[in-house]
Amino acid sequence: MLNWNILSSTKQVDNIVSTESNDAVCIILKHSTTCPLSSIAKMRLEGDGNSLGDHIKWYYLDLLANRPLSAYIADTLNVHHESPQVIVIKNGEVTYDVSHLDITVDDLSSEVVAA
């Protein structure tokens, strides 16, 4: 099971970009709790995500409970809003952004190594 850090504030997002992503690869999952595709993406990550290594910090955003924060993430990181969506941040920059059934641990593995 992944050790999810729950996102609930803009301050957390700002801290990820300005500080945490300089020390670790940060991965944000924007998840809709009522969407079957989103559940599939989350299960994929939880099934094999630990294989990506200990240098990953995992963040989880419940879109339905935090719509304004989801919009803030899209604006701040300059990514198009999707659901489900995975955003990889390293050294304050988005290095990978993928959505829907394109969310796989295999693809993330290549991006995390490159990040």
Q: What does the pLDDT look like over 20-39, one tens digit per residue?
A: 999 999 999 999 999 999 99
What is the value of pTM for the model shown? 0.94
Using an 8 Å Cβ cutoff, are 49 and 102 in contact?
Answer: no
**Segment 35-47, tens digit of pLDDT:** 999 999 999 999 8
All structural domains of the chain, each given as residue ranges with its CATH number in brackets, are 4-114 (3.40.30.10)
**CA dist., res. 89 & res. 102, Å (int):** 18
Using an 8 Å Cβ cutoff, are 77 and 89 in contact?
Answer: yes
Query: Mean pLDDT over residues 50-63, rounded?
Result: 92
**CA dist., res. 79 & res. 35, Å (int):** 20
Query: Could you give the C-alpha distances from 20 to 17, 42, 56, 83, in angstroms and in order?
Result: 7, 22, 10, 24
